[in-house]
């Protein structure tokens, strides 16, 4: 009888150790949870216009225009949003084309792609002291390898427009709006240190670095311009 009790105890210890060793952090996967072919989306609890734009790969300003939403871009759970513009009639298309012709005649000088970066006056910095950079599938940002207990810092000044874990594959995520063109994201954090709506400064601590399934200290970092992902190395200092 005593031997049977000992056997049960040993079996329990083995099972508990196995279950502990199998606990892993979620695998980082930035695939959009909204199909690129979707024409509409029903707002879920904790969604923001910015998070929906991020998941669908759209510019938040386009989503606002297509759905008649004005600042501060308030949306409601259960609300149905258009993810594509309405089809234009022939009359509307002709009016737009006529306006384009008038615009060309005036030859208004705009900001070129070469001096656009200077005009924005954004001076990016790396969120952590980078020890290794890994590119992710689909050109949707990079994984930065740091060290345990390191603080994640904002790449530039701006406003936190999303803070939470509602976007599948990003873990604890922060999205920061820097101006009308640029957003940046910081994912896979252990803990968030700022709340949605907060205004933050360049270099301010915004989160604690998290772990991936390999037990490495990492942060996912991405910059988007007008809703589209851009190469972070194009804007950040050379390592």
Q: What is the homologous superfamily of the domain 122-235 according to CATH?
A: Glucose Permease (Domain IIA) (2.70.70.10)
Q: Phi and psi (nearest 5°) for 150?
A: -75, 150
Report pLDDT for 99: 52
Report pLDDT for 191: 94
Per-residue tens of pLDDT for the chain, all 239 residues:
555 555 554 545 444 444 333 333 444 444 556 776 788 899 988 888 988 888 888 889 899 999 998 888 888 888 999 988 987 655 545 554 555 555 444 443 333 344 444 445 899 999 999 999 998 765 578 999 999 999 999 999 999 999 999 888 889 999 999 999 999 999 999 999 999 999 999 999 999 999 988 899 999 999 999 999 899 988 999 88
Report pLDDT for 112: 36
Report pLDDT for 119: 41
Report pLDDT for 137: 65
Report pLDDT for 74: 86
Report pLDDT for 179: 94
Distance between CA atoms of 103 and 110, rounded to whole angstroms? Answer: 12
- The partner residues of 57 in beta bridges, in order of sequence, read none
Residue with tokens 């200290």: 217
Residue ranges covered by each domain of the chain: 122-235
Distance between CA atoms of 83 and 80, rounded to whole angstroms? Answer: 10
**Nearest partner of 161 among 149, 179, 188, 141, judged by Cα:** 179
């Amino acid at each position: 009888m005593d031997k049977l009790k000992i056997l049960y105890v040993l079996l329990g210890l083995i099972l508990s150790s196995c279950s502990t060793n199998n606990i892993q952090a979620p695998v980082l996967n930035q695939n959009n949870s909204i199909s690129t072919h979707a024409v509409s989306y029903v707002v879920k609890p904790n969604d923001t216009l910015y998070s929906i734009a991020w998941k669908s790969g759209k510019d938040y300003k386009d989503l606002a225009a297509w759905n008649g939403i004005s600042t501060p871009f308030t949306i409601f759970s259960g609300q149905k949003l258009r993810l594509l513009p309405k089809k234009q009639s022939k009359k509307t298309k002709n009016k737009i084309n006529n306006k384009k012709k008038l615009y060309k005649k005036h030859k208004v000088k705009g900001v070129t792609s070469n001096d656009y970066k200077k005009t924005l006056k954004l001076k990016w910095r790396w969120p952590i002291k980078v020890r290794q950079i890994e590119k992710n599938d689909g050109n949707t940002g990079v994984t930065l390898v740091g060290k345990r207990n390191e603080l994640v810092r904002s790449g530039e000044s701006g406003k936190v427009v999303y803070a939470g874990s509602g976007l599948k594959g990003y873990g604890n995520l922060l999205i920061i709006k820097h101006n009308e063109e640029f957003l940046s994201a910081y994912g896979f954090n252990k803990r968030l240190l700022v709340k949605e709506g907060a205004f933050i400064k360049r270099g301010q601590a915004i989160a604690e670095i998290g772990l991936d399934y390999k037990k490495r200290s990492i942060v996912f970092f991405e910059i988007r311009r007008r809703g589209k992902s851009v190469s972070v190395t194009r804007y950040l200092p050379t390592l």
